[in-house]
Structure 1
Amino acid sequence: MDGQDKAIEKRFNRGMMLRLLVVVTLMFGFGYALVPLYKAICEVTGINVLTTRDLYGGSALKNSQVDTSRTITVEFDSNARGPFAFRPVKHSMEVHPGELTTIVYEVANGQSRDISAQAIPSYAPKQATEYFKKIECFCFKQQTLKSKEAREMPVVFVIDPKLPKDVKTITLSYTFFEVGTPVAQAPQDEQASVQKGS
């Protein structure tokens, strides 16, 4: 390979490198521009926009499935079965069937140890159970609270517009109980006497 061929190859490589850099830059710019473009398209078309009430019960955007002719009072209750404080930030809220709504529960572990807990919901009247749809809830899984940890836990829900017309009030109650409560160890002397006796 003579010097002229080497020069041609060097020019070709340099040109290819420049083209690749331009392509990479354009790809990065396109990917970066997709986020605001996607948001703008979603806002214009109304696709994939889940705007809820704010965490403390503010208003939501209009939704064509919301029955604004009806208002349901949702009452929130809490019971703690363990060494922690547990309560809703609001005790009641007025909602329209079909309206996406958020309520927040607060929990605080005052112990010097970690605690695992689980929430179990119940509803009154009982017939409202099938019409109360939770989209997000801390009750879906066990919660682990670190020592002295305080936390806000949201519940995002919607009341099915098919809720019977005679139901005007629904009570959502959570019982939050400790899971795997530590068992006190028997003193060594007692354990030894039990083993001897057996």
Structure 2
Amino acid sequence: MNGEELRRANKRLALKLGAVAIGALGFGFALVPLYNVFCEATGLNGKTNAESVAPVAVKVDKSRWVTVQFTGTMMPGLSWEFHPQQTSVRVHPGEITRVSYYAKNPTNQTVVGQAVPSVTPGQAAQHFIKLDCFVQAAGPGARG
């Protein structure tokens, strides 16, 4: 292989690698919408209805009870204290109930967090709406 052929081969390889990098970047940006479509189509992941801003009037079923359990997990490396104030509530289906979480930022840095609810089993997610949540916990001992 002479010098000219080697340059052409290197140029082709660089173009192919560039195309792969651009394709990977595009796939990364498309991944979230594709994931949302997949979750909506399959009912997996238990995402709650984030589009509703007010509870819909639903008849409360007083004939039965449902126990709802709560957990709190955080992104690794975040030093917050974060947990539900109560680990479970017993409610009638259709009943609006308030649940509170405790959030404390023990550092001297301002950190912004977002509560992202996930409901399991996934079929139950349609019955949950996150109405409000903490926005910020700043400085030692701040509560959200």
Per the alignment, residue 144 of structure 1 pairs with 136
**SS of structure 1 residue aligned to 2:115:** strand
Matched, 1:94 2:90: yes
The 5 A counterparts of 1:20-31 are: none
Matched, 1:78 2:72: yes
Matched, 1:115 2:75: no
Per the alignment, residue 133 of structure 1 pairs with 129
Query: Scaled by the length of structure 2, what TM-score is found?
Result: 0.54
Q: For the aligned residues, what is the CA RMSD?
A: 2.0
Change in Cα spacing, 1:133 to 1:110, as seen in structure 2 (3 Å) is same
**SS of structure 1 residue aligned to 2:123:** helix
Query: Scaled by the length of structure 1, what TM-score is found?
Result: 0.40
Write 1 or 2 for the structure with the bigger share of strand: 1
Deviation at 1:80, TM superposition (A): 1.8
Deviation at 1:65, TM superposition (A): 2.2
> In the aligned structure 1, how far is the partner of 2:142 from the partner of 2:101?
11
The 5 A counterparts of 1:48-59 are: none
Higher CA-based Rg: 1
> In the aligned structure 2, how far is the partner of 1:78 from the partner of 1:64?
28
**SS of structure 1 residue aligned to 2:74:** strand
Residue type at the aligned position of 2:68:
V
Q: Percent identity over the alignment?
A: 34
Per the alignment, residue 35 of structure 2 pairs with none
Which structure 1 segments of 5+ residues have no match?
1-62, 153-198
Deviation at 1:97, TM superposition (A): 1.0
Which structure 2 segments of 5+ residues have no match?
1-56
Which runs of 4 or more aligned residues in structure 1 lie more than 3 Å from their structure 2 counterparts after TM superposition? none
Q: State the Cα deviation string for residues 126-147 of structure 1 (Å, max 9, x = none).
A: 111112233x2217xxx22211
Per the alignment, residue 13 of structure 2 pairs with none
